[in-house]
Amino acid sequence: MSSSFFGTDGIRARVGTSLLTPDGMIKLGIVLGTWITHNNKLNSVVFVGQDTRNSSDLLVHALITGLLHESINVQILGVTPTPILEHITAHTNGSYGIMITASHNKYHDNGIKLFKHSNGHAQKLTPEEELEISTLLQNYDNNNFTVNYEQLGTCVYLQDTLILYKKFLEKNFKSHFLKDTKIILDCANGAYSTYAPELFCHFGAQVIAINNAPNGKNINENCGALYPEHLHKTILKENAQIGFAFDGDGDRLIMVTQDGLIYSGDDTLALLMQHPAYKDQQEIVGTVMTNEGLAHYAQSQNKKFIRTPVGDKYVAQALVEHNLLLGGESSGHTLLRDLSDSSDGLLTAFRILETMILHNWSLKSFTKLPHYTLTMPITIKKDLTKEPYATIIKEHESIINGRLLVRYSGTEPVLRIMVEDSTECNAKTVALKLSQQLAFHL
């Protein structure tokens, strides 16, 4: 089954396990090459990018070995944010994009995100396509593969990714629209460490970058989108107007204001509802994890709120199905379909800044319903719809005045519990009691 390899956002695991070994990546490259050749009769090119973790070089070169084996032509982007890889894939006919990253995870994990070109867009694979690839991996037999040295693929480095992306930004944002704006950027020691400061400066901002010196092991280490509270100290120290925190591969964004308020992805949606590009949109897309307060706020703005399963690919699907432009996740994935098919932390920051400048920096977010979220480490994902788990969850759900959500992470070996109730204290109490009872049985 596809679940053997794919989670909510590609393949992800501890380096040295599953496919994340040299042999495993060569195998994956061969399988992907076979699958691409079968599904695309064009002379396909595959763009390969990576984040800054120390295992990425090894895994990239092993993957490319497998792709070349299957006569696939490869262009290497090196360290580049996932959104830029997707942008290049979207603008190259017949292409595919492969990103070696574990996104917001610590350095000891890594993974693979896959994209395909489709009518001028870059799309993540469908569950059916993931199943096809998983089946090929499960049926892989090294003895059946021989190398045809007359039909090997080619491999070159793509040198001008920053220039290509800068030109795209110049078409969509006014020159120097960030003039007189002082901004702190927390680059998470990740893929945007070089790109983001230069691009913000290009549009006129005064930039102070922190956590922009990756060493292979410090990606997401007490920094970036998962630790935005550190931004506030630098904002105050440097008397900056605002701060933005990326994650390791650049598709998440969290904002911090001068007075220390941390704006999640939910807050971002509330702000961007007021941007001219989205203010007339009658529906907004979030997920089951989105705070119910945002749904109430959307309703107050005469907008319908649509919930999807967790995963930005599901948000993207809903945007296409309903012909909408704005959606996102609480975690900081925000999709701006008028600009991109994917979540891009830098694009999101630019749109937020446009909105705030238009409103003279006076925007307010929505009122959140009191809530509490926790994670539990797990080793086996047991079926929570079966007993005794179902009854335990139902009993706790019956004693709150709000929503309760229990779900396994698709990217980490953890169980997430989210409770909304009349007070944060109540929500925390219920979440902790539920986690204790589930832990006893799990």
Strands 121-124 and 326-328 turn out to be unpaired
Structure-model confidence comparison of residues 144 and 136, the more confident one: 136
Band of pLDDT at residue 150, cut at 50, 70 and 90: confident
Does 388 sit behind a cis peptide bond, omega within 30 degrees of 0 on the bond before it? Answer: yes
Q: What's the pLDDT at 246? A: 98
What SS3 state is found at 184?
strand
The pLDDT of 40-58, averaged and rounded, is 91
The pLDDT of 153-181, averaged and rounded, is 96
* Separation of alpha carbons 224 and 190, rounded Å: 9
Looking at the domain covering 371-441, what would its CATH class be?
A: alpha beta
Establish whether 422 is a catalytic residue: no
Residues 6+ apart with CB under 8 A from 336: 272, 277, 325, 326, 344, 347, 348, 351
Report the CATH number of the 2-162 domain.
Answer: 3.40.120.10
- The yes-or-no verdict on residue 142 having pLDDT over 80 is no
CATH fold match for the domains 180-258 and 371-441 = no
Over the range 80-109, which residues count as b (16 or more CB within 10 Å of their CB) and which as e? bbbbbbbbbbbebeebbbbbbbbbbbbbeb
Name which of 329, 288, 307, 293 is nearest 418 in CA terms.
Answer: 288
Q: What's the pLDDT at 2? A: 39
Q: What's the pLDDT at 141? A: 79
The number of C-alpha atoms within 13 Å of 373 and in the hemisphere containing its C-beta is 14
Ramachandran category for residue 78: left, alpha or beta (phi over 0 → left; psi -120 to 50 → alpha): left
Please name the CATH architecture into which domain 180-258 falls. 3-Layer(aba) Sandwich (3.40)
Q: What's the pLDDT at 168? A: 97
- The yes-or-no verdict on residue 144 having pLDDT over 80 is no
Band of pLDDT at residue 41, cut at 50, 70 and 90: low
**SS3 helix, strand, coil % of the chain, rounded to 5?**
35, 20, 40
Name which of 39, 36, 59 is nearest 49 in CA terms.
Answer: 59
- 84-116 pLDDT per residue, tens: 999 999 999 889 999 999 999 999 999 999 999
Name which of 80, 75, 71 is nearest 46 in CA terms.
Answer: 75
Q: What's the pLDDT at 42? A: 64
Q: What's the pLDDT at 364? A: 79
What CATH fold (topology level) applies to the domain 264-368? Alpha-D-Glucose-1,6-Bisphosphate; Chain A, domain 3 (3.40.120)
Q: What's the pLDDT at 7? A: 84
- The yes-or-no verdict on residue 328 having pLDDT over 90 is yes
The pLDDT of 205-229, averaged and rounded, is 97
- The yes-or-no verdict on residue 334 having pLDDT over 70 is yes
- The yes-or-no verdict on residue 337 having pLDDT over 80 is yes
Q: What's the pLDDT at 9? A: 85
Q: What's the pLDDT at 4? A: 66
* Separation of alpha carbons 71 and 66, rounded Å: 9
8 Å CB contact between 112 and 46: no
Selection from 137-146, 207-216, 228-237, 382-391 with the highest mean pLDDT:
207-216
The pLDDT of 190-197, averaged and rounded, is 98
Low-confidence winner among 1-5, 139-143, 295-299, 392-396 (lowest mean pLDDT):
1-5
Place of tokens 């089954």: 1
- The yes-or-no verdict on residue 363 having pLDDT over 80 is no
Q: Helix crossing, 389-397 with 424-441: angle to 10°?
A: 170
- The yes-or-no verdict on residue 184 having pLDDT over 90 is yes
User: In the chain, what are the domain boundaries?
Assistant: 2-162, 180-258, 264-368, 371-441
Low-confidence winner among 66-80, 214-228, 402-416 (lowest mean pLDDT):
402-416
Q: What's the pLDDT at 149? A: 84
Average pLDDT along the chain: 94
Active-site residue identified among 44, 55, 95, 103: 103
CA distances for 392 relative to 106, 377, 384, 415, 438, angstroms:
32, 18, 10, 15, 8
Name which of 250, 230, 286, 263 is nearest 353 in CA terms.
Answer: 263
Band of pLDDT at residue 145, cut at 50, 70 and 90: low
Q: What's the pLDDT at 143? A: 66
What SS3 state is found at 428?
helix
Q: What's the pLDDT at 1? A: 38
